[in-house]
Amino acid sequence: MTSTSLHHSRQRRRGLTVRKAPVQRRPRIANPLTRLKSLINPDYARLWGIGLSLNIVYWLEAVALGVYVYELSESAFVVGFIGFLRLAPLLLFGAFIGTIADRANRRVMLATTNITLAIVYLTLGVLVVTDRIELWHVSVGALIGGVLWATDFPVRRAMIAESLPSDQLSAAFGVDMASGNFARVFGPLASGVFIQSIGMQGVYFLGSALFGMASLIAMSMLFIGRGPSSTVAPTGNLPAKSFDLRSGLRHVRADTILFVTIIVTVVMNVFAFPYQLMIPVIGTDKLQIDPVLIGLLFSVEGMGATLGALVVAAMARPRHFTRVYIYSSVGLLLALMAFAFVPWYWIAIPLLFVAGFAMSGFSTMQSVIVVISTSPAFRGRVLGVLTVAIGCGPIGALLVGFLGTQFGADRAVFTIAAIGLALIASTVLLSQRYTSRIPRPRR
């Protein structure tokens, strides 16, 4: 008998309780792919398919509009103004849509917006074919298209959050973001080819077909997303007037993680993402490349973003979320500052790949942090607030367009990225605990 066993025997004879020392086990390292397998869910698959269709159209149009409008107007400001029109509905209607989404049938909302856009894009394609297209037609189409993007966060992504358990949301949004980023690989290349060989009508007709397909998927869904009435019933002390933007804003202000996340979102959408509007201008004037090579720049960025989103989906854990969010934001801004003064095309390619990789960390964590930090009853409204924050992008679009006209597109991109970096650094310094806090589901 060992000395330890003899000691335990004496303890028992004295009537004392013997507690065995816990067995030390080596921590198991989970296979990251198991997190992705858990996403085999028919509701999620349909929502993922709708998102993929929308992202392909978005990136088809992003490059095509930039090249097409610049050819028509020869003005960087007009290119920025069209970008403003595409993003303005996020700012104007985002919170309103979020409030409606908390009380309405989200499946019907998805189907209605998609079929409307299918008709609009078909009309624009016919106008191009008949040579009746004018700049104001393109502007109106961009504005109406922006309404659809305004529904994505408070409607489709809220439905994703309701279709899966909270511990699968990081992987779910990572895969959704990865497929959206993959669309950025295909979309810009196809857009450049269409513009150079077919014309703008090819972009509009393909967009119409994809919007129509997304509408059919939405109507076929068995999962019907509603607001609190079908997910979490409002508590008895929740007044009816709480179903508005103010309740969403109060919910955000009461939570440090939500508040800082929204502030960083505003900064990035005003001072980072508008750089994409200047890629066609920089490519045409400075790098002197054709539309296909301009599309390749967007595609390379999409490759980096796809890889980054898959890495985040497979590896990120709640304790990493806020740090990934901040570090990715800083990395993107630094990459943009380097890209602004790149002298050769072959150097721009790896820089935009790095920018895309960093962008995916920001974009994925943005959705995940907001969703898991918000109670289901408020999710649509808080996502509406997030949509408004993203909708601040039109301000950046006008700013970068103005700076591009006055000082050149490259200096404009460097300036806005430098300002964004200073604001992110200030925000983190004022909220030092943000990067060490773990977002948790709130019931």
Q: What is the pLDDT of residue 149?
A: 75
Block residue for tokens 């106008």: 127
When mean pLDDT is compared over 48-52, 226-230, 242-246, 319-323, the highest value belongs to 48-52
Q: Which two tokens stand for residue 345?
A: 């095309």
* More reliable by pLDDT, 61 or 118: 118
Rounded to whole angstroms, the Cα distance separating 386 from 391 reads 8
The answer to whether position 63 is within a domain reads yes
Q: What is the pLDDT of residue 119?
A: 92
The answer to whether 372 touches 317, Cβ cutoff 8 Å, is: no
Query: 18 vs 3, 5, 10, 15, 22, CA distance in Å?
Result: 15, 11, 10, 9, 12
* More reliable by pLDDT, 36 or 319: 319
Q: For 70-79, 240-249, 395-404, which range has the lowest pLDDT when averaged over its residues?
A: 240-249
* More reliable by pLDDT, 219 or 419: 419
Q: Comparing C-alpha atoms, which of 46, 163, 53 is closest to residue 117?
A: 53
Block residue for tokens 């994505």: 152
Q: Which tens digits make up the pLDDT trace of 52-78?
A: 888 888 878 877 887 788 877 878 788
Rounded to whole angstroms, the Cα distance separating 205 from 195 reads 13
Q: Is the pLDDT of residue 292 over 50?
A: yes
Q: Which tens digits make up the pLDDT trace of 404-439?
A: 888 888 999 999 999 999 999 998 888 767 866 666
Q: Which tens digits make up the pLDDT trace of 151-183?
A: 776 788 778 877 777 777 777 777 787 777 777
Q: Which residues contact 44 (CB under 8 A, 6 or more apart)?
A: 160, 163, 164, 172
Q: Which two tokens stand for residue 389?
A: 């924050």
The answer to whether 101 touches 380, Cβ cutoff 8 Å, is: yes
Indicate which CATH number applies to the domain containing 358. Answer: 1.20.1250.20
Domain range enclosing 257? 41-226+244-436
Q: 3-state SS string over 12-33?
A: HHCCCCCCCCCCCCCCCCCCHH
Q: Which tens digits make up the pLDDT trace of 335-375?
A: 999 999 888 888 999 999 999 999 888 988 888 888 888 77
The answer to whether 130 touches 428, Cβ cutoff 8 Å, is: no
Q: What is the pLDDT of residue 69?
A: 84
Instruction: Give the three-class secondary structure for 332.
Output: helix
Rounded to whole angstroms, the Cα distance separating 362 from 223 reads 29
Q: Is the pLDDT of residue 303 over 60?
A: yes
The answer to whether position 35 is within a domain reads no
Tell me the residue type at 306.
Answer: T
- Domain tally, the chain: 1
Instruction: Give the three-class secondary structure for 323.
Output: helix
* More reliable by pLDDT, 92 or 213: 213
The answer to whether position 171 is within a domain reads yes
The answer to whether position 21 is within a domain reads no
The answer to whether position 303 is within a domain reads yes
Q: Which two tokens stand for residue 9?
A: 């025997």
Which pLDDT band holds residue 24 (cuts at 50, 70, 90)? very low
Q: What is the DSSP letter of 283?
A: I
Phi first, then psi: what are they for 289, rounded to 5°? Answer: -120, 160
The answer to whether 296 touches 356, Cβ cutoff 8 Å, is: no
CB atoms within 10 A of CB 187: 27
The answer to whether position 92 is within a domain reads yes
* More reliable by pLDDT, 304 or 43: 304
Q: Is the pTM of the predicted complex or chain greater than 0.75?
A: no
Q: Is the pLDDT of residue 271 over 60?
A: yes
Average pLDDT value for the chain: 78
Q: Which two tokens stand for residue 398?
A: 């006008």
Q: What value does the mean pLDDT take over residues 389-400? A: 83
Rounded to whole angstroms, the Cα distance separating 337 from 421 reads 10
Instruction: Give the three-class secondary structure for 386.
Output: helix
